[in-house]
Structures are given as structure tokens and as C-alpha cells.
Structure 1
Amino acid sequence: SSTAAVALLFVWPGVLPWAGLSLAAGLAVASVAPLWKRNLRRTPMFTYGMVLAHLGIAVSLAGMASDSAFTRETLVAVRAGQSARVGPYSVTLDGISPVIGENWSALEAQLTATRGDDSTRLHPQLRFFANPPTSTNESAILTALDGQLYTVLGQPDGQGRWQLRLWWKPFVTLIWFGGVLIALGGALSLVGRLRRERRSAVRAAWA
């Protein structure tokens, strides 16, 4: 029953992301079902668009479920030259430098994110505003095909160390890829519908 399902989510909250992945897989299979045993050359463009759009929904759902199920977080206090690891990345704090903006000042971290032989520089900031006196954390994000690395610079601990908060979100990029598929599917469906209406108008004119 629905009550039992809700109770299961409270007792075992980790089931929700896996349920989302299962739903995404089922939706992906159902999306391509209209093409099963059909002459693909004679299949209307509208049908291809519908399939692509529904497949995009499945891909985006898989990305959202993966974000919930597989995200890894690390909170560390490091000195310049020290590293922390999250997911497939090793993140090294190279240094901290002051930065001045139009209406703010900041402390900016120079980070090196290393994965295998590849390394990328990231620059998260701890910004300060004078009026009103507030501070904000400006994250630096590294996007790869298989996920995103988020880095946030925190406060110093007074002993020469700085707080770093790191997140690795695998397959979250599927959300955006699914959105692209949905847009392409909608465009194909629209073009297919316009072509069909044009053909109908031509036939009516010659009738």
C-alpha cells in the first residue's frame, strides 16, 4: 500500500535513489518500444522525436537519482601543500591570496584538482561585503563527462589551516544531457508535424 511505501522510505531512505534508477531504466526501455519491429526508414519523424524526448526524461531521471545515491562529500582542514581526496580527484591547496572586486573583497584559494594524468586549477572564494557586512562562499566547479566536482573554501582555523568542503557528484551531468535530448526530441516532433501538415495541404490542393 502507499502507507507501507512511505514507511519504507523513512526506515530505509536509501531506497529512493535506487527506485529512481529503476524507474529511469524502465522508462528508457519503454521509450524505445515504439521503434521495436518497425521499418525505421518509414517511421515518421514525429515518432522519433517522441522517442528521443521520453528517452531524455529517463536520462535526466537517472542523473537525479545518481546525484542522490552516489554523491560523496569531504570536509577537511588543510595547509598549503596538503591534499584531500574525494571521488576520483585529489585536491591540493596551493595557496590563498586576496582578491578585490567592485564592491567586495575576497580570499581566493588556488586549488589543483588531479585525476590520473590530468590536472585543473580551481579558485573558490570566501567573499566579504562591507554594506551590509556579510560573507559568502563562492564555489568553483569542475565539470567532466561523468560528473561534477564542487569545491568550497571555508574559514581558517587559526592554526594555518583552511577548511575545504569538496563534493563529487557522479553522473549529475546526465541531467543536462537528458535536457538536450528532450529539446532535440521536441524539435524533431515539431518538424515532423509541420512536414505532415504541409503534405496534407498539398494533397488537399491537388484533390
Structure 2
Amino acid sequence: LFVWPGVLPWAGLSLAAGLAVASVAPLWKRNLRRTPMFTYGMVLAHLGIAVSLAGMASDSAFTKETLVAVRAGEAARVGPYSVTLDGISPVIGENWSALEAQLTATRAEDSTRLHPQLRFFANPPTSTNESAILTALDGQLYTVLGQPDGQGRWQLRLWWKPFVTLIWFGGVLIALGGALSLVGRLRRERRSAVRAAWA
């Protein structure tokens, strides 16, 4: 089945929007003060699913990736960030050694230091890339240090994932909605038990 490239993320966003509208439909034209807590919990949980789906679709649709080779003092740009390689230094761990990059991620007037590593293990002899991640309200910046090119430059792989944080925010809404639904159900059962006792 042929699917036009880029269609699925936008379909996901459309589905998320429709689900969000359907989630709040139970509150339409209702007396909000008389609405049971269980209903609010159901609305929040379904809205959380819509928000998480929007985050996943945005990650697929809008992620920006940059692979560059830079020297100390040079910068690369990805999304709203300019990432500068300030230097490389050795680091020793318990069972590994590493080359650690000192990066400065700048956005507008704000700067953040990041330290991705290229780690080496002796037994068995392997190497791994330890990414450094900067989380903002509107997305996440991933930075990975690669290999040197033998000419004084280092490979940097950068990703900007806008709105990926909606996935976690949606999870919070789902958990909160589940808690409200549980509390609402317990309250309703308690009231039913009290009424039965007085009947």
C-alpha cells in the first residue's frame, strides 16, 4: 500500500485533534458543578491520549537532524539552537574511559552547557555514544559526539525534536485522569453504601 511521504504524521495530528474534541464532548452543555468527578477523570484521560498522540506525530513530522564535522570554536545550527563545540577532554569512569565534548547550546539569550561522551570499554573492547539532552517546554535537543576525522574536526550529530514533550505531558494527564476517575468511583460507591444503610 503506497502512502505519500509525510502523510502519516499529519494524519496523526488530525486524529489527535479529533480525539481532543471528542474528549471534551461529555462536558458540552452540562452543569460543570454537578458533573461527577468520574466524568472529569474520563475527559482528562482521553485528552491525555490526544496530547501524547500529537507529540508523537510532531516528533515524526517536524524533527530536524544535522550531522556536521566541527573544530573547537565552531558552531552548527539545528532548529532554534546554535551548538558550539568548546573543546574535548578525557574522562575516566569505573570501567570505562571517554572523550567528552563541551558544548554550548544557545537559543536567543539563553545558553546551556551539554556534555555528550564517546565512551570506550576495555572488556570487551567496545565504544558507545552517550548523548546529552536539553529539554525545553517546546521540545528536546539531542547531541551526540562522533569520531574525529583526523584533521582536527569532530563529528556532531544534532536533533531538534519539537513538541516531543507533549508525549510526557499527555502521560501526566492520563495518570491524573485515572486518579480522578478512581476517586470519583470510590466516592460514588461510598454514597451508595450510605444510602443503602439508611434505606
TM category, shorter: over 0.9
Q: Alpha-carbon deviations, 1:90-116, whole Å to 9, x = none?
A: 000000000000000000000000000
Is 2:53 the partner of 1:57? no
**Matches of 2:113 and 2:52, distance apart in 1:** 29
**Matches of 1:175 and 1:161, distance apart in 2:** 36
Corresponding residue to 1:139 among 124, 128, 131: 131
**Matches of 1:10 and 1:168, distance apart in 2:** 28
Q: Alpha-carbon deviations, 1:158-192, whole Å to 9, x = none?
A: 00000000000000000000000000000000000
**Matches of 1:63 and 1:102, distance apart in 2:** 37
**Matches of 2:72 and 2:151, distance apart in 1:** 12
Indicate the RMSD between aligned Cα atoms, in angstroms. 0.6
**Matches of 1:120 and 1:73, distance apart in 2:** 19
Q: Shift in Å at residue 11 of structure 1?
A: 4.3
| Count of paired positions | 199
What secondary structure sits across from 2:99 in the alignment?
Answer: strand
**Matches of 1:11 and 1:200, distance apart in 2:** 53
Structure 1 counterpart of 2:60: 68
Q: Alpha-carbon deviations, 1:113-171, whole Å to 9, x = none?
A: 00000000000000000000000000000000000000000000000000000000000
Q: How does 1:50-199 map to 2 (within 5 A)?
A: 50-199=42-191
What secondary structure sits across from 1:10 in the alignment?
Answer: coil
**Matches of 1:61 and 1:12, distance apart in 2:** 20
**Matches of 1:101 and 1:29, distance apart in 2:** 51
**Matches of 2:3 and 2:135, distance apart in 1:** 34
What secondary structure sits across from 1:158 in the alignment?
Answer: coil
**What is the percentage of aligned positions where both structures have the same residue?**
97
Q: Shift in Å at residue 13 of structure 1?
A: 2.4
Structure 1 counterpart of 2:5: 13
Please, which runs of 5 or more residues in structure 1 have no aligned partner?
Answer: 1-8
What secondary structure sits across from 2:10 in the alignment?
Answer: helix
Q: Shift in Å at residue 36 of structure 1?
A: 0.2
Q: Tell me: CA distance 1:134–1:60, structure 2 relative to 1, closer, same or farther (3 Å).
A: same
Q: Shift in Å at residue 10 of structure 1?
A: 3.2
What secondary structure sits across from 2:179 in the alignment?
Answer: helix
Q: Alpha-carbon deviations, 1:47-85, whole Å to 9, x = none?
A: 000000000000000000000000000000000000000
**Matches of 2:128 and 2:5, distance apart in 1:** 31
